[in-house]
Amino acid sequence: MRMPSQDKLEKYAELALKTGVNLQEQQKLMINSTIEGAEFTRIVARKAFEMGAEDVHINWSDDELTRMKYEHASQETLSEVPEWQQQKFTYFAEQGAAILSIRSTDPDLLKGIDAGKVAAANKARSEAMSTFRNYTMNDRLQWSIVSIPIPAWAQKIFPGESEETAQDKLWEQIFSIVRVDQKDPVAAWEEHNETLIKAREYLNKKQYSKLVYKAPGTDLEVALPKGHIWKGGPATTEKENIQFNPNMPTEEVFTAPHKYGVDGKVTCTKPLNYGGNVIDGFTLTFKEGKVTDFSAEEGEETLKHLLDTDEGSRRLGELALVPHESPISQSGLIFYNTLYDENASCHLALGKAYPNNMTGGSDMSEEELDQNGINHSLSHVDFMMGSDKLDIDGIMEDGNKEAVMRQGSWAISFE
């Protein structure tokens, strides 16, 4: 795989460990990575040990083997998740490990594979990993996601370029977007986090009762639960109070919508890469929080399987605000990677809400969360619906209206 200079890789690895998971001395680290990312993963592991990690455990994956299994294994086999795999993740969570995912997957990995197989496998994994996911979605441990280029992903973004040229260009974009190209990336992230903290603090004081979205193909009202909490930028672990950045990059502030209070129509503005298949040109119609109609120009069958995962997958679990001026948006590129594309655009997520987007939500039962309008599902899938044509109004409890975004940019000042 085409790699940049050692110095840039070292800085990126250090950023992922210090600002991403904020690895502590004598803490275990679990890394999820693909074999194509082996060189970078080794750098991360070495730096983790140098920082005093007690242990570094690597979970390897391989796109070619993944594709091979989907082509030849039965749906029944794909729906089986060995108990030892579940126990491994739970073990590291219980040990208080930090979890770093180094993602580098072909957006078209499962193109042409039976959508029913993919849906069954996704559902089985979601069910099997539900206990572990409660640790991450409630910030009970430090976790973070970063990405590195592979040829198939790079050439999807830069079609017509050679493998080497496409990867060089994608490395350059990644380093710019995650601030690795700056003199002190860690300090640059501290400054960036402060901006996101100011935005979420402003929104938390406002406590809008709902947001109204208007754009070409979108006319949507989204109610917000009483006691909702806006988050964004750095997160903090529930008990140890350790700050970390779950997503690198991140440009969003986000909260939980009311699962029964979404009405209208929303149209995507970027392709969605879901489970190795692309869904594009899709529109969702909501009534009383539930998707009642949908269409897609590409990947409609995949979208149907996603919506049919369970009852909660037809409801929203997240809404996020991202200004059009974000570095990812200004790149003018479509990344076919949700980690990047969601931070270029305002977005919504179908499926499970983060319980800690509700005051006291981390300690609530599923029934209590439901009573407060917080959605539960096996899925959590972000899709992009923002653009430079999107206007958003915040409606106060007394009915007064405030412009939140105009033409995709903040209409409010956080100073």
Question: What is d(CA 238, CA 240) in angstroms, rounded to the nearest whole number?
Answer: 6
* Contacts by residues 393-397 (CB-CB < 8 Å, ≥ 24 positions apart): 393/211, 393/212, 393/214, 394/206, 394/208, 394/210, 394/211, 395/208, 395/209, 395/210, 395/211, 395/212, 396/206, 396/208, 396/209, 397/207, 397/209
Evaluate whether 263 touches 257 at the Cβ level (below 8 Å): no
Residue 194 has pLDDT above 80, yes or no: yes
| Mean pLDDT confidence for 20-34 | 98
Instruction: Give the residue from 169, 201, 94, 212 showing the smallest Cα distance to 333.
Output: 169
Q: Render pLDDT for 310-338 as a digit per residue (tens, 0 to 9).
A: 999 999 999 999 999 999 999 999 999 99
Same structural domain, 233 and 132? no
Task: Give per-residue pLDDT as tens, 159-177.
Answer: 999 999 999 999 999 999 9
- pLDDT for 275 equals 82
Q: What is the DSSP letter of 361?
A: G
Q: Are 277 and 118 in contact (CB under 8 A)?
A: yes
Q: Classify residue 380: in a domain, yes or no.
A: yes
Q: Which residue has the higher pLDDT, 3 or 165?
A: 165
CATH number of the domain encompassing residue 127: 3.40.1830.10
pLDDT at 110: 94
Residue 16 falls inside a structural domain: yes
The domain tally of the chain equals 2
Q: How far apart are CA 147 and CA 168, in angstroms?
A: 14
Do 379 and 256 sit in the same domain of this protein?
yes
- State the pLDDT at residue 215: 98
Same domain assignment for residues 257 and 357: yes
On whether the CB atoms of residues 359 and 229 are closer than 8 A, the answer is yes
> How much is the pTM?
0.93
Of 142, 166, 181, the residue that ends a domain is 181
Distance in angstroms (rounded) separating the CA atoms of residues 275 and 296: 16
Share of the chain above pLDDT 70, in %: 100
Same domain, 248 and 99: no
Whether 274 and 365 map to the same domain: the answer is yes
91, part of any domain = yes
For 273-290, write each residue's pLDDT tens digit.
998 899 999 999 999 999
Looking at the fold, whether 395 and 247 belong to one and the same domain comes out as yes
- Is 157 part of a structural domain of the chain? yes
66 lies in some domain:
yes
Alpha carbon distance 143, 151 (integer Å): 26
| Amino acid 76: pLDDT | 97
Question: Has residue 193 been placed in a domain?
Answer: no
Other beta carbons less than 10 A from residue 280's beta carbon: 17
98-103 sheet: strands from edge to edge: 55-61, 28-34, 98-103, 143-147
Query: Are 154 and 261 in a shared domain?
Result: no
Residue with tokens 């592991």: 45
pLDDT in tens, 366-386: 999 999 999 999 999 999 999
Residue 239 domain-assigned (yes or no)? yes
Q: For the stretch 287-319, what's the b/e string if a residue is b when 16 or more beta carbons lie within 10 angstroms of its beta carbon?
A: eebbbeebebeebbebbebbbebbebbbbbbbb
CA distance 298 to 278: 7
**Three-state DSSP class for 359?**
coil
Q: Which residues of 205-226 are buried (b: 16+ CB within 10 A; e: fewer)?
A: ebebbbbbbebeebebebbbbe
132, 164, 181 — which closes off a domain? 181
Task: Give the pLDDT band of residue 270 (cuts 50, 70, 90).
Answer: very high
Residue 4 pLDDT grade (very low, low, confident, very high; cuts 50, 70, 90) = confident
- What does the pLDDT look like over 208-234, one tens digit per residue? 999 999 999 999 999 999 999 999 999
Q: Are residues 286 and 388 in the same domain?
A: yes
Domain around 53: 6-181
**pLDDT the model gives residue 231:** 97
H runs (alpha helix) in 16-62: 38-50
Contact 409, 329 (CB under 8 A): no
pLDDT at 105 over 90: no
Cα 91–chain centre separation: 24
Could you give the CA distance from residue 276 to residue 297 in angstroms, rounded to a whole number?
A: 17
170 and 253 belong to one structural domain: no
Mean pLDDT taken over the chain: 96
First to last CA, the chain: 45
Q: What is the mean pLDDT of residues 4-20?
A: 96
Residue 201 domain-assigned (yes or no): no
What's the rounded mean pLDDT across residues 66-76? Answer: 97
User: At 363, is the secondary structure helix, strand, or coil?
Assistant: helix
Do residues 174 and 281 share a domain? no
| Domain end (from 163, 181, 199) | 181
Say yes or no: 335 and 237 in one domain: yes
How far apart CA 380 and CA 275 sit, in angstroms, is: 12
Q: How confident is the model at residue 199 (pLDDT cuts 50, 70, 90)?
A: very high
Give, in degrees to the nearest 5, the angle at Cα 310 between 304 and 316: 80
pLDDT at 346 over 90: yes
Same domain, 169 and 228: no
Rounded to whole angstroms, the Cα distance separating 161 from 152 reads 11
Flag whether pLDDT at 415 surpasses 80.
Answer: no
Residue 24: pLDDT over 80: yes
